Amino acid sequence: MKMQHKKYIITLIFLMISASVFTQIALNRGDKIISSNKSPVIVNTAQLTVINYSIYINNNSDWGALSGNSWFQGSGTFLDPYIISNIAIISYRFYSSRISIINTTAYFIIQNCALDCISIINTTVDFIIQNCALKDCCLYLANVEKGLIYNNELHKYSGDSLVLRDCYNVSIVSNNAIDGFSIRDSEKINVSNNVITDAYSGIFLSQSSNCSIWRNEIRLTDNYIRRNYFHIDYVTGIRMGGSHFNNITENHFYCIPNPFEYWGSNIGNVIENNYFHSCVMINPKTDLIVELLISSISMVSLIILLYVIAHNYPRRKKLVGIVSIAITLGIMGILAHGAYNWSFLWSWDRLMLGVALFPLIGVNLAILILSIRLIIKASSRSQSN
C-alpha cells in the first residue's frame, strides 16, 4: 500500500506542476514589445479637472462659452491662442467624451487632457494638440492646415488611431499609437519619430503627395501576433496608393510581414534607408503546440486524479475533490481566454480583473490543499486496513 500511496501523491504533484506551467504561460502572454526609444506620454493626472460633458466649438463665437473655467484661457490670437488644458472628460452613458472644434479661424492649443476623441474640422490657422491621452476613439482631422500633433497617446484598438482627410502642412511628431495612421487626399504631411503598435496598416497613404514619413517605428506585439495569427501575413507597415513625391526614409519595422505595399499609380517617391527587424518572439505555431501538449498532460493528470478520488473518497469528500478540479479548470480557462482577448483593456481594467481573480485563486488553492490532506488520509486508512 505504500507504493499506492506514493502513486497518489506523485500524480497530484504532477497535476499541480502541469497546471501551474500552463497558467504561467497564460499569464505571461502580455504585450511583449521590443525596446523602443519612445517613452510613454505621461499626463499629469494630479492637475486634471474632471468634467462630465464634451466640448463643442462650431464657430468663432462658441469660444466665449468656455470663459470662466480654470482650464481655459487665451484670446484666440497668434500671440495669445485659446488654451484648453488639464482636463479629464468623463464619458456619459454610451457617448464618447470628446473635444470637437469646427469652422474656426482662432488659434488654439489643446494640451494635457484625457478623453476619448478629438475632432478638428475646417480650420485654416495654426493649432497644437500635445501631451494628451486618447482612448477608444481616433484623433480626426479634416480640411485643416498648419497643425502640430505632438507627444500624445493615441489608443484606438480597432481601426485607425489618427485620421487625416484633405489636410495641408500638418506635423505628426513623437506620438505613441495603438493602431495606425490613415492619411488621405493630403499634402505636405510630416510623420516623424512616432511609435505605432499593433496596426493592420501602420501608415496608410492614399492620394497624398509631398509627405515625409521619417524615423518612425512600426511594430507588432506578441499578443497581437497570437490573436491575429490567421491573417498576420497581410499586416503591412506602410501601405501606399495613388501617392506621389513622398519621402519615406529611416523607418524601423519590427515583426512586420510586409513592410511596404503599393497599389495604383505611385510616382516620384523616395524610399530608402529603412530598416527591417526580424521577430524575436515565440512562433505562434510552436507556442500553440507547446500549449496543447501541456494542456493534454494536465487533462490526463486530471482524469487520473478523478479516478483516484472515485475509488478512495467517501461521498462527501469525493464531492470536494471534484469541485476542486472544476474550479482549477475554470480558472485556467479564464486566464487562457483572457491572455487572448483581454489585451485590449486598459491597465485599470486589468488591475480590477486581477483583484477579482486573486480571491478565486486563493479559494482554489485552499481546496487543493484540503484535497491533498484528504488523499493522504484516505491512503493512510487504506494502508492501516
Render pLDDT for 333-361 as a digit per residue (tens, 0 to 9): 555 544 444 443 334 444 444 445 555 55
- Average confidence (pLDDT) over 48-56: 92
Q: Is the pLDDT of residue 30 over 70?
A: no
| pLDDT band at 157; cut points 50, 70, 90 | low
Cα 25 from Cα 332, distance rounded (Å): 10
Name 271's Cβ contacts closer than 8 Å, sequence gap at least 6. Answer: 248, 249, 260
Residue with cell 464634451: 54
| pLDDT band at 316; cut points 50, 70, 90 | low
Q: What is the pLDDT of residues 2-22, one digit of tens each?
A: 455 555 555 555 555 555 444
- Whether the Cβ atoms of residue 203 and residue 181 lie closer than 8 Å to each other: yes
CB-neighbour burial class of residue 233 (10 A; exposed 0-12, middle 13-18, buried 19+): exposed
Q: Is the pLDDT of residue 70 over 70?
A: yes
| pLDDT band at 113; cut points 50, 70, 90 | very high
Q: Is the pLDDT of residue 23 over 50?
A: no
Name 184's Cβ contacts closer than 8 Å, sequence gap at least 6. Answer: 163, 164, 165, 166, 204, 206, 207, 208
Long-range contacts of 292-301 (CB under 8 A, 24+ apart): 294/18, 294/21, 294/22, 294/25, 295/22, 297/18, 298/15, 298/18, 298/19, 298/22, 298/332, 301/11, 301/14, 301/15, 301/18
Cell of 368: 487543493
- Pseudo-torsion of CA 76, 80, 86, 90, nearest 10°? 0
The values of phi and psi at residue 179, to 5°, are 85, 160
Length of the chain counted residue by residue:
385
pLDDT at 31: 40
pLDDT at 135: 84
Q: Is the pLDDT of residue 291 over 60?
A: no
pLDDT at 1: 47
Lowest mean pLDDT, pick from 101-110, 207-216, 296-305: 296-305
| pLDDT band at 134; cut points 50, 70, 90 | very high
**pLDDT: which is higher, 113 or 291:** 113
Q: What is the pLDDT of residues 317-327, one digit of tens each?
A: 556 566 666 65
Q: What is the pLDDT of residues 159-204, one digit of tens each?
A: 799 999 999 999 999 999 999 999 999 999 999 999 999 998 999 9
Rg over CA atoms, the chain: 28
- The most confident of the ranges 14-18, 98-102, 295-299 is 98-102
pLDDT at 223: 73
Q: Which amino acid type is present at position 299?
A: M
pLDDT at 28: 44
Q: Is the pLDDT of residue 242 over 70?
A: yes
pLDDT at 252: 96
